[in-house]
Structure 1
């Protein structure tokens, strides 16, 4: 397998970015980005530890669940999960993080790169109350880069076109996969399904 290892080799294959792509990056949250974030119910957060081992984590809630503190900072509530805390543990070792915001039906996405920190400040956490419950901590991103990513990936994937979606009965079974991977006798596919259902109905917030 031929491996490309330098930018010079890469550019020989793919060329250089156009003028618009070179100039579209800003270093703050402007009004356009605020509007995008306010309408986004879902993002993917990428982090890595100090060894370079990477992780991508989905985050979602009602549109606008990410709070824009000011033009340089956004705050993401840490809702209840499985308590692995992969992203947070990575941030302790390496603060650099990347966010990809999606809006259903819109094929362009918003990317934010910056430095992350973890807060338990009650004034911030109070902003994220849902059903009388507050997150224990939140993730603060200090914005270094912010830009729109073009729609080609979502157009090629037909992500937002229901006609292309598989019938639900043909989709992979997450419970079956988890039971197979964990290899714990007490966690059969049925037991995992029940655990997931309980979590989804009683521990969302």
Structure 2
């Protein structure tokens, strides 16, 4: 495939010349521990996005959703995300094994500012920790432990521009993309029709959330 980009920036100086520098508040807002504000935010968040990369730098972002309070804060420097059943690709877990650097974005519905946390991750199976993360009578087999290195609030501009929390901007249900249709097209195998994929997805949601 031909490279379509002709005017590529290659230095921070070029970026700064166009976009400028952060304000004093932005420069100073990052902290290196989970204070009571961060803890309260995490306790109310039912959804986070988890970013990892492999040993070659190939990146992955994965959503993690659960009831508010499902992420366990152990102390000012450590938290644990339960590993609930997924599709068993194990993208995030395999990345963490070879490259522990991790980035998290926590979201609270209706709040446009998000909480960002960066740090080092570990795949853990500590019984004393996982026993505290039982949901619907199911105990996670593993958890993602995070050593916190940076925390800060991210401004609301992306959410304001997208209006994602405004139901009036949401498309009608009939207009939404069909996940089964997309997956069936990407799998591209005669035996995996859209209907077969749909039934598989529905069964997974009904029986294997926890």
Partner of 1:3: 8
Residue in structure 2 matched with residue 157 of structure 1 by the alignment: 162
TM-score between both structures, scaled by the size of structure 2 = 0.97
What 5-or-longer segments of structure 1 have no aligned partner? none
Gapped regions of structure 2 (runs ≥ 5): 1-5
- Name 1:23's counterpart in structure 2: 28
1:64-143 superposed matches below 5 A: 64-143=69-148
How many Å separate the matches in 2 of 1:76 and 1:187?
Answer: 33
CA distance in 2 between counterparts of 1:153 and 1:130 reads 32
Alpha-carbon distance in 2 for matches of 1:128, 1:204: 14
For residues 125-161 of structure 1, what are the alpha-carbon distances to aligned partners after superposition, in whole Å with 9 as ceiling and x for unaligned? 1111112111110000100000000000000000100
Partner of 1:47: 52
2:153 is aligned, of 148, 153, 159, to 148
Cα distance in 1 for residues equivalent to 2:145 and 2:192: 36
Are 2:178 and 1:178 aligned? Answer: no
Aligned residue among 57, 61, 64 for 1:59: 64
Tell me the TM-score normalised to structure 1 length: 0.99
Runs of 4+ in 1 over 2 A off after TM superposition: none
- Cα displacement (A) at 1:185: 2.0
1:17-64 Cα distance to aligned partner (Å, 9 max, x none): 110000000000000000000000000000000101000000000011
- Matched pairs, number: 205
